Amino acid sequence: MTKYDIAIIGGGPGGYVAAIRAAQLGLQPALIEADRVGGLCLNWGCIPSKALLWNAELVRLFRESEDFGITYDALHIDMAKAIDRSRTVVDRMVKGVEFLLKKHKVKMIDGRGRLTGAKEIAVEPAGEAESIEAEHIIVATGALARSLPGVEIDGETVITSREALELRETPASVVIVGGGPVGVEFAYFYRAYGAEVTVVELLDHLLPLEDEDVSRQLERAFKQQGIAFRTGAKVGAVVRSSGKAIVSITAEGKEEDLTADKVLIGIGMAANTEGVGLEEAGVELERGFVRIDDTMLTNVPSISAVGDVTGKLLLAHVASAQGVAAVERIAGRSAPPLEYEKLPRCTYCQPQVASLGLTEAQARERGIDVKVGTFPYRGNGKAIAIERTEGLAKLVVDARTREIVGYHIVGHDATELLAEASLGSVLETTPRELGWTVHAHPTLSEVVKEAALAVDGEAIHFWSE
């Protein structure tokens, strides 16, 4: 039985980053992966979807090109080529990760890992099984798309994001169940390619976990783009008929049937724990996810867990941060605890949505004396120059301590503006400090500075009664 310092089950952004960091710290890691490295994010999530969303932005620009003095005789839009390009991007990224693992001398083991003890893993490739031993084990098996009870996902008419990323022809109509990040991103993509899109969301707003002002702004933008949505709506059934699907919903006490060529289920993720051997190893679960402490340890001292399987915050960069933190502890080093509320959250439709920290409602619920500063994109020179003036930046501030406790941005390329918020959160930045920070002009980043100034009514480039 081969022995390693660390064995990692799952080669996604939590697992492969943990493996590389372990090698950097002089430990001997093994990375077990049944498919391709990069996990759901790289292969069937973050990367291919962002490649497609960039295609959607180009399509939208072409459709609006006359506003910029550009005309053409004919426009041909081929979604199949967009899909092909996204797979090329994925292949390039996978090869890059494989290169890094090889250069760091990480032992790659092909197969499905299953815990057989606190320090033992059976690896089951096609054919025969082998066993390895490790002083420390990290479970990084990720998550799988959830379905609605009673709704069969057939991969043809009723699909998840996995099948959507391979769909080579634009459907005439799509109903998307779920108004979270997955739902609104695919709504933007399909609408750009000409599909009739309706998003169905159980809660009161699209992106219901975001600040309400942000959600309302996104809803206004979607209406302008021709994206329909039903909020406060419950899906009762999905029935297939003659190659189409009929989605029965109830909203405000009224029943309605929506007919579409495709139904995309995007209601969230469930932990990928089946067949991992967690129960046999004595690892405790919580709400179906692996329960961990602040150092990523499970209740079994030799077993840690990172990424989506923990259910903390199902985002690739969070998985990577958890992977690094787990390995740092194993190596005897100290790492600052992850404050999940202060980690960045991004949605990549256009206008994009980027946030960190508390919403205004959450801050008030906690008894914080709140001050708010907002600044609209339409007051920003760069936004006006590129004709992308829909959106705003909003800061939520603790009036007593003057710390900015929430950063919320909706607008063009908003996700690129959030790094400043991440640093500001670590440094407990105040509106005065952010307001005094000189931002290059003209840049979209100025909306964050002006929102900080607006907390005390001192924004320069926008007048508010």
H or E element that contains 229: strand 228-231
Query: Do 353 and 410 contact (CB within 8 A), yes or no?
Result: yes
Reply yes or no on whether 408 is catalytic.
Answer: no
Beta bridge partners of 259: 246
How far is 116 from 272, CA to CA, in rounded Å?
A: 17
How far is 407 from 291, CA to CA, in rounded Å?
A: 29
Paired tokens of 374: 């907002």
In the block, which residue shows the tokens 């990323």? 165
Produce one character per residue of 268-288: b if its CB has 16 or more CB atoms within 10 Å, e if not: ebbbbbeebbbeebebeeeee
Q: Find all residues with CB under 8 Å of 12, minimum gap 6, and list them.
A: 37, 38, 39, 40, 41, 42, 140, 142, 307, 308, 316, 319
Phi, psi (deg, nearest 5) at residue 123: -105, 125
Q: Which residues in 328-414 belong to E strands, given as ranges?
A: 345-347, 352-357, 370-376, 391-398, 404-411
Paired tokens of 385: 């120059």
Paired tokens of 458: 């001192």
What is the DSSP track for 265-330? Answer: E-S-EEE--TTS-HHHHT--EETTEEP--TTSB-SSTTEEE-GGGG-S---HHHHHHHHHHHHHHH
Q: Where are the alpha helices (DSSP H) in 38-123?
A: 39-44, 46-63, 79-103
In the block, which residue shows the tokens 């049944």? 34
Nearest CA-CA partner of 173 in 103, 248, 261, 104: 261
How far is 133 from 123, CA to CA, in rounded Å?
A: 11
What angle is formed at CA 93 by the lines to CA 87 and CA 95, rounded to 5 degrees?
A: 105
Q: Considering 104, 136, 441, 461, which one is annotated as catalytic?
A: 441
Strands 391-398 and 404-411: antiparallel
In the block, which residue shows the tokens 């005309």? 71
In the block, which residue shows the tokens 């022809």? 169
Catalytic residues: 441
